[in-house]
């Protein structure tokens, strides 16, 4: 599984670096959609190679997302505070991972694997797409930055 994660992440990072869009947040969130394959594999019986493929495909999405996400953080925050921003982002992302890894087996023991996987799919879908209603999320930029870009485009169009 580690090899599938590695290969998928590398491919996704390369793909993410090639994306140029005015809506990178939409690309980033859609890139995470293949992560849904992993809990789906827990709901139905799949051969090991199928699970491996699901993990690898999900990792492509995560790799792509990470490039777009970290690029947006670099664009949005001044260089002098980026160290703190990246530290806080890493704490939020990776610091909670051990909690989830500890809780998952307990929840599976309480709920069963299929209900747990269904909840995982719902949480993944919701947390991936509900953020798009936040102003600026589609552009992976602050609302002020989005407004400034739109104002600049309007001035350019009028000129």
Q: Give residue limits of the domains in the chain.
A: 2-158
Q: pTM (2 decimals)? A: 0.85
Do 53 and 59 contact (CB within 8 A), yes or no? no
Do 92 and 38 contact (CB within 8 A), yes or no? no
| Cα separation, 154 vs 159, whole angstroms | 9
pLDDT tens digits in sequence order for the chain, 159 residues long: 889 999 999 999 999 999 999 899 999 999 999 999 999 999 999 999 999 999 999 999 999 999 999 999 898 898 999 999 999 998 888 888 899 899 999 999 999 999 999 999 999 999 999 999 999 999 988 888 777 776 676 666 666
Backbone angles phi, psi at 54, to 5 degrees: -65, -45
| Cα separation, 159 vs 157, whole angstroms | 6
């Amino acid at each position: 599984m580690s090899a599938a994660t590695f290969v998928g992440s590398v491919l996704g990072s390369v793909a993410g670096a090639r994306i140029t869009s005015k809506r990178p947040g939409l690309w980033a969130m859609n890139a995470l959609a293949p992560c849904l394959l992993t809990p789906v594999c827990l709901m139905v019986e799949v051969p090991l190679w199928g699970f491996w493929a699901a993990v690898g495909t999900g990792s492509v999405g995560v790799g792509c997302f990470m490039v777009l996400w970290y690029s947006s953080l670099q664009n949005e925050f001044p260089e002098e505070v980026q160290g703190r921003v990246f530290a806080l982002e890493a704490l939020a992302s990776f610091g909670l991972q051990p909690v989830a890894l500890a809780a998952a087996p307990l929840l599976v023991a309480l709920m069963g694997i299929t209900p747990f996987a269904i909840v995982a799919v719902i949480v993944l879908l919701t947390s991936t797409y509900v953020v798009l209603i936040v102003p600026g999320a589609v552009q992976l930029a602050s609302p002020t930055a989005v407004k400034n870009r739109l104002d600049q485009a309007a001035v350019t169009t009028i000129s």
